[in-house]
Every structure is written in structure tokens, then in C-alpha cells.
Homo-oligomer: A and B are copies of this chain.
Amino acid sequence: MPRRKSEAGLEPNRRAELLRAAARLFVDKGFAATTTRDIAEAVGMRSGSPFYHFRSKQELLKEAMIDGLEAGRERLLAAIAGVADPERRLYVLVRTHLGTLLEADCNSPMLLNETRSLDVAARAEIAAAFDRYQAPWQATLDELAARGRIASAAAPLRLLLFGMLNWSGRWYRPDGPLTVDQLADSAVALLLGRRSPDLSRA
């Protein structure tokens, strides 16, 4: 069921619409299993039309990933602005990240999966965007390590942290027994070595 016909150029940003639809489909079905026809149909276009906006299916993926990471980064920076206490800041980072992953309609971190579908040049762009996304995390972990609240801000800890958060995109169900707030609490408690007994019944 196609949407209304576009009025010859009056449509402001079909490109952004395509990117959102593509991101959603890539997350749900995977890059290879998603058809450019699926994407076109999702925004009410004909099969060839996405190629008026993007050179290739790969470019659609690359742009969707970079846009998603950049939007996520801006959400992070806005959320931690003025949060001086590093423990509190870690919580805000975790909660905001889980929000992007589990609540926003474009859970971009899950797309990191699909980097393998890109060529070397595009991979480098993704890596750079992900580094920017990681920067506020690294700063906060460094601060926590300096104060002795975590053992180390070195690679293993940061990667284990992203692992436990990102994997939740695979199993978390919004209609399940666990709220995103509770999940964020559990993750932070685990990281900071607290017992968080209030969650033992979740």
C-alpha cells in the first residue's frame, strides 16, 4: 500500500526517510536478507527509486550506520552535560545507550554487526564514527579507574561493558518483566561491584 504520491520536489527529505527505514530493516532482517525493494516499499517508493538517492545498497548501510552513531553520540553528550560525578555519569551513559538500543526506533549499535558487508573505505569511516561514540565512555572509565572505583579502564573492561549492553538488543523485550531502568541498574551494579539486592526478584 504505497503512500501518497510526492508532489514533485515539495517533499523535504525523502533521503532521511529512506535511511530510517533501511536501518530498521537491516536491524530486523540483516543486511543481506533485506532487499532494496523492501526499503523502497517501506517508504512508498518504486523499486528503482532508492538509487536516485543512494549509489548502492552498501552506501545506504554505511550512511545509516554513521547517522545512527552520530545521533546516539549527540544523545549521550546531551544526557551527561553537567553530570560531574563519574559514577552517576556512567549510569547516565549506560541508561542512554540502552535507550538508543532498546527504545529508539533506530537501534544503531546493532548495525555494527553488518560492518563485514562493507568495503575497507566504508569500514574506516564506521570505525571513526564509533571512536567518537566511545570517547565519552573512555573519559568516564578513566576517571573511575583513577579514583579506584573500577580496577582498570583498559580495553577488556570497556569491551565487556559494550558486550553486555549490546547483546541485550538480542533478547530484551519491552513487554517483558524487566524495565530498561532495571537493566541499566543491573549493568552498573555489576560494573561497580555493588550487590544491587533490589533486583534479585527481577
Contact with B along A170-202 (1 / 0, CB 8 A): 110000011000110011011101111101111
Contact with B along A30-65 (1 / 0, CB 8 A): 111100000000000000000000000000000000
Nearest-neighbour CB distance to chain B for A80, whole angstroms, equals: 22
One complex includes copies of this chain to the number of: 2
Interface residue? A9 (CB, 8 A): no
In contact, B200 and A152 (Cβ under 8 angstroms): yes
In contact, A160 and B178 (Cβ under 8 angstroms): no
**Could you say which of B151, B156, B168, B201 contacts A182, with CB atoms under 8 Å apart?**
B156
- In the complex with contacts A156-B178, A186-B156, A190-B160, A196-B166 CB distance below 8 A: no
Contact with B along A124-155 (1 / 0, CB 8 A): 00000000000000000000010000011011
Determine the residue in chain B with the shortest Cβ distance to A169: B163
CA distance in complex: A197, B145 (Å): 11
- In the complex with contacts A164-B164, A167-B167, A199-B152, A30-B29 CB distance below 8 A: no
Chain B residues with CB below 8 A from A164, complex form: 160-161, 163-164, 167
* Extra 20 A-B pairs, beta carbons < 8 Å, given A151-B189, A164-B167: A30-B32, A31-B32, A32-B33, A33-B117, A112-B170, A113-B113, A151-B197, A151-B199, A152-B199, A154-B200, A154-B201, A155-B178, A155-B202, A156-B186, A159-B168, A160-B164, A161-B164, A163-B163, A163-B164, A190-B191
